[in-house]
Amino acid sequence: MQLKALALCIAASIMFIAHAYAEDGVPAADTDKIKVTSGEQIYKSVCQGCHMPDGKGAAGAGRYPSLANNQNLEYPEYAIFVITYGQKAMPAMGDVLTDQQIVDVVTYIRTNFGNTYTEEVTVDQIVPPWP
Ligand code: HEC
């Protein structure tokens, strides 16, 4: 009897782990993603907590780089990559933003805070993390 209980317990654990894994392994459906639409709204709801409303970043408990007058934004691929996959203390946003939202927020930061990179950004520039 005890063995049977143990077996049930193991089976339940395996099912639980498999379920958790399946949830993790499947990319979030677009319905789970943040629902704001313009680049500015995305910036205000997701990014400004760290990079600040004026884009100038902050230094304190952590160091949040300034996006103002930032030459690293010249090539949109770099910002796209950092936002999609994260980099050190910058969290990956690829699972919470749609491709179009990533494009919109990159367009927003490249054309605000003193940046004047007006070249169009497209979803084709979002690439897998490795070749
Ligand atoms: C939890 C805080 C946090 C949030 C939220 C956040 N960032 Fe960052 N971001 C960082 C940190 C920290 C770095 C520096 C990463 C490093 O050390 O390379 C960074 C780096 C960047 C860089 C590269 C800057 C450079 O000069 O190399 C860009 C671009 C950027 N973030 C844009 C965004 C955008 C757009 C959003 C919103 C979609 C966002 N970040 C949300 C913390 C954050």
- Cβ(113) – ligand 1 distance below 6 Å: no
pLDDT at 16 exceeding the cut of 70: no
Mean pLDDT confidence for 22-27: 48
Nearest alpha-carbon partner for 52 in 112, 119, 118, 96: 112
At 35 the pLDDT is 86
- Cβ(102) – ligand 1 distance below 6 Å: no
Q: Alpha-carbon distance 109 to 119, whole Å? A: 12
Buried b / exposed e along 69-78 (16+ C-beta atoms within 10 A) = ebeebeebee
pLDDT tier at 32 (50, 70, 90 boundaries)? Answer: confident
At 131 the pLDDT is 66
Tell me how far the alpha carbon of residue 24 lies from the centroid of ligand 1, in angstroms: 24
Beta carbons within 8 Å of 59's beta carbon, 6+ residues apart: none
At 3 the pLDDT is 55
Q: Alpha-carbon distance 18 to 42, whole Å? A: 33
- Cβ(49) – ligand 1 distance below 6 Å: yes
Model confidence pLDDT, tens digit, residues 103-122? 999 999 999 999 999 999 99
pLDDT at 9 exceeding the cut of 80: no
Share the mean pLDDT of the chain. Answer: 84
Beta carbons within 8 Å of 121's beta carbon, 6+ residues apart: 76, 80, 103, 106, 107, 110
Q: Alpha-carbon distance 19 to 17, whole Å? A: 5
Ligand 1 atom with the smallest distance to the CA of 89 is: 12
Least confidently predicted of 6-15, 25-34, 69-78: 6-15
Q: Alpha-carbon distance 71 to 29, whole Å? A: 34
